[in-house]
Structure 1
Amino acid sequence: MQLPVQSQSTLYAESWEVAAGPADLVEIARTADRHGFAYLACCEHIAIPRRLAEAMSTVWYDPVATLAHLAAVTERVRLLSHVAVVGLRHPLITAKQYATLDHLSGGRLILGVGAGHVREEFEALGVDFARRGAVLDEALDALKVALGRQDFPKFVGERFSFEGLGQAPRPVQTPRPPIWVGGSSPAAVRRAAERGDGWLPQGDRREQLPGQIARLRRLREAAGVVDPVVIGAIVEPLYVGEPGWRVGRGTLTGAPERIADSLREYAAMGVQQIQVRFRSRSRSELTDQMAAFATDVAPRLN
């Protein structure tokens, strides 16, 4: 699941998150850890321009700092950047940050990456917004080398080059931490097919996913990539049980078996992991929903 509190866009943030903070994040992370959730995710924006601030908010926690903080208070849940805009910085900086996170967490990192969409962030950091896709492609190639097993990796590209430079600590995971590509544009699906260990669609409706998954697999085969790819999906907002308040027409509610029946449709499409979000009016209602899902719904999925 994506963590609440750490990003507060009006598209999905609940009203209680405005006054929430680190203690709430810790309790939610511990609940996820205790109840067997696969991963916790934290997204990235460097700075939000005034023209977008009303809709997006300016509350966007740094993913490395946030996930490192939560790594210290959890034991098994994995830590996902969903997504890190890695094209905004040199790959050696990204490699240093996320290799350290993997090391500190005992090998629990999943590096989720995306191209980004806020022009002003790129302009402020001196990165060409129009070329962000090409920059991300090269950054991914460089990151695979920098996060690999070589103590002194070598990479020569159009924008980034390094050789004879060692970085430690190294990641715990071998051959390196998995890299999941986020996004549903044609470029993002291509990128996931050619360069990703996993794909995180963004905003696809259920009826769109089979076609997107088929395209991903065709592109991956055409690129000659033989390694398996983890296919994900962000599912509808959930509420386990019958809510006594308005949770929105798009929210999947009801008895555990009803919710599980609906979510099993994703597996039939070829989806291997789902990212869930629960409607809630308080932190305690959220953690209760997490516990109910883990106890009553998740066992019916696997």
Structure 2
Amino acid sequence: MPILPTGPLSYGMQLPIQSQSTLYAEPWEAGATPADLARIAHTADRSGFAYLASCEHVGIPRRLAGAMSTIWYDPVATLAFLAGVTDRVLLMSHVAVVGLRHPLLTAKQYATLDHLSGGRLILGVGAGHVQEEFEALGADFAGRGGVLDETIDALRAALGPEEFPEFSGERFSFGGLGQLPRPAQERVPIWVGGSSPAAVRRAAVRGDGWLPQGGSRDELPLRITRLRELRAAAGIEKPLVIGAITEPLYVGEPGWRVGRRTLSGKPEVLADSLRAYADMGVHQIQVRFRSREPRELIDQMTAFGADVAPLLDT
């Protein structure tokens, strides 16, 4: 089921376990297993979650490893694994650092994922921020913004319906090379991640959706206004799917310290707070739950789908 600007407020989540930055990972994730990941994905599939997301880093330098950790699963492999244990939930890269590789290679990987999953891919892309990662792979870190712009254009061509896609740009050109299987979707949605002025502009003029990174909910209205202004100035009539990352959540009254930023309480309280995102013009929210073990996370997801989600559009 696609996420549409005209539809009700959708909700999805960044998967735990597959990335374990100290900014958000729970202690239990360090010892989690692929079976835990599959159970969490299955819960999302049956609890009305619109998507599951996996992010990307190829390698973390020692200077950042303490904060970021070095646990970052490959998003294509992770989402393909979860495609086999789910039926309806969409599968999103949030975000793929597509400037690290040639767009034909990226297209091959994600077209196959979309084909195997029956058309459930959302390709979220971002510029990246780890210089050593780019240098190790021979990618252009200083010019990564321009590389990403052209890569998005190239991916539009490479993920289209043609068996022999063609593209000619300043950095990339290809033609006469057939790639099957094609994506199951006629048009793979490309959502642009980032909240910098450059990322907002890129989302407005090149994206089908926007995935903010960082910032508070108070900053969202100005950025949404800017997105719409830039999109209108570019003459693009198709609406942009606008997202937001919510505060951490806990459904019910926690018996442990969940942090002062965490929204907790009865379903009605949470839904009332989250509906404010829709009032700003947000179409999909990415939620995250505090938990002490996989079972608690699954219980939180189930409670959100059953008790909070039905109240988001009332």
- TM bucket (normalised to shorter chain) is over 0.9
Structure 1 residue runs of 5 or longer lacking an equivalent are none
Structure 2 residue runs of 5 or longer lacking an equivalent are 1-12
Distance 1:228 1:152 in 2: 29
Alignment-derived partner of residue 101 in structure 1? 113
What letter is aligned with 1:201?
P
More relative contact order in 1 or in 2 (CA 8 Å, sep 6+)? 2
Residue 188 of structure 2 is aligned to residue 177 of structure 1: yes
| 1:164 positional shift | 1.2
Alignment-derived partner of residue 41 in structure 1? 53
| 1:204 positional shift | 2.1
Residue 125 of structure 2 is aligned to residue 145 of structure 1: no
The aligned runs of 1:230-241 (5 Å cut-off) are 230-241=241-252
Q: Which runs of 4+ in 1 moved over 6 A?
A: none
What letter is aligned with 1:265?
A
Alignment-derived partner of residue 291 in structure 1? 302
Alignment-derived partner of residue 130 in structure 1? 142
Choose from 55, 77, 86 the match for 1:74: 86
Choose from 72, 75, 90 the match for 1:60: 72
Alignment-derived partner of residue 288 in structure 2? 277
TM-score between the two structures when normalised by the length of structure 2: 0.95
Distance 1:74 1:94 in 2: 23
Distance 1:120 1:108 in 2: 32
Distance 2:81 2:101 in 1: 22
Choose from 230, 241, 253 the match for 2:264: 253
| 1:154 positional shift | 1.1
Distance 1:130 1:248 in 2: 37
Q: Deviations over 1:63-112 (max 9, x none)?
A: 00000000000000000000000010000000000000000000000000
Distance 2:38 2:165 in 1: 36
Alignment-derived partner of residue 208 in structure 1? 219
Distance 2:38 2:118 in 1: 18
- Give the secondary structure class of the aligned counterpart of 1:184: coil
Aligned sequence identity (%): 77
Alignment-derived partner of residue 233 in structure 2? 222
| 1:223 positional shift | 1.1
- Give the secondary structure class of the aligned counterpart of 2:142: helix
Residue 104 of structure 2 is aligned to residue 92 of structure 1: yes
Alignment-derived partner of residue 7 in structure 2? none
* Count of matched residue pairs: 301
Distance 2:215 2:92 in 1: 20
What letter is aligned with 1:179?
I
- Give the secondary structure class of the aligned counterpart of 1:83: strand
Q: Deviations over 1:13-41 (max 9, x none)?
A: 00000000211100000000011110000
Alignment-derived partner of residue 10 in structure 2? none
Distance 1:23 1:195 in 2: 37
Alignment-derived partner of residue 4 in structure 2? none
Distance 1:153 1:78 in 2: 25
Report the RMSD for the aligned CA atoms in angstroms. Answer: 0.5
TM-score between the two structures when normalised by the length of structure 1: 0.99
Choose from 259, 267, 272 the match for 2:278: 267
Distance 2:180 2:172 in 1: 20
Distance 1:64 1:284 in 2: 26
Choose from 107, 116, 126 the match for 1:114: 126
Distance 1:164 1:224 in 2: 32
| 1:12 positional shift | 0.1
Distance 2:20 2:241 in 1: 27
